[in-house]
Amino acid sequence: MIGQKGKIIRLNSVDSTNEYALGLYRNKVPPDDGTVVISDTQTNGKGLDKNKWESESGKNLTFSICLYPHFLPVEMQFEMNKALSLGIYDFIKEMVPNEKVTVKWPNDIYINNEKVAGILINNTISGNILDFSVAGFGININQTKFVSDAPNPVSLIKYLGNELNLDECLDLVCKKLDARYEQMKAGHFSQLDSGYLKSLFKINENSRFIYNGKVISAMITGVSEYGHLKLTTKTGESLECDLKKIVFLF
């Protein structure tokens, strides 16, 4: 079980919880399955595509979980992304049930049009299986001011009006993540697929994107089995995009 008693490594400060967890694995002291590495401060927190994750010390949740998903074939690794994204989605939705919560492809969590959480997954592959996975999470809880150039950060405190207990939040997050991970482990991929699509940011809405350097108008229609975003343009053209090809415009 993710984050159960005895499976939490607490640090005061670290460059990156993902790098710390990967270091344990590389140095032949592998953490137990479901171990959580959490730090009050990350000096070099990372997001997707070399982005940095801003988090005021002691105000938010910045942690990683260590997993051994040997049951998941390499070609299905995007199911991990779906499961963990939905786990964070479930937590945020429980916190702010009256707000619109979505998963912005591939794995950012939004409240309305603002980003409240992000995920970075590092997979270690052996043959045709996922030998070891580290998933890093940044969830904005109590931070009220952001100083980086990130365009649209938000914290739960904006909607709730009072500071939350971080330990209680971590406990609930771990339970939500564990439920989705067990759903994946049991092979209930159709439930994960439908849940992910149902929660997807801008699904079936006409939106603007930068695609291969050009502004286009298109509609998100789904996600491929390999995690590529599916779009249909106004002219009826079908596109499949990876992160290097597409940028959302708000």
DSSP state of 200: B
The number of beta carbons lying within 10 Å of the beta carbon of residue 132 is 22
Q: How far apart are CA 84 and CA 99, in angstroms?
A: 20
Q: Are 55 and 138 in contact (CB under 8 A)?
A: yes
Answer yes or no: is 1 within a domain: no
Task: Clarify whether residues 111 and 138 are in a common domain.
Answer: yes
Answer yes or no: is 3 within a domain: no
Q: How many domains does the chain have?
A: 2
Task: Clarify whether residues 245 and 194 are in a common domain.
Answer: no
Mean pLDDT of 147-169: 93
Answer yes or no: is 2 within a domain: no
Q: Are 192 and 180 in contact (CB under 8 A)?
A: yes
Task: Clarify whether residues 128 and 240 are in a common domain.
Answer: no
Task: Clarify whether residues 63 and 179 are in a common domain.
Answer: yes
Tally of residues, the chain: 250
Domain that holds residue 186: 8-199
Q: Are 117 and 88 in contact (CB under 8 A)?
A: yes
CA dihedral 66, 35, 179, 162 (to 10 degrees): -110
Give pLDDT tens digits for 2-56.
Answer: 988 779 999 999 999 999 999 999 998 889 999 999 999 888 765 555 566 788 9
Answer yes or no: is 128 within a domain: yes
Give pLDDT tens digits for 219-237.
Answer: 999 999 999 999 999 999 9
Residue 141 confidence (pLDDT): 98
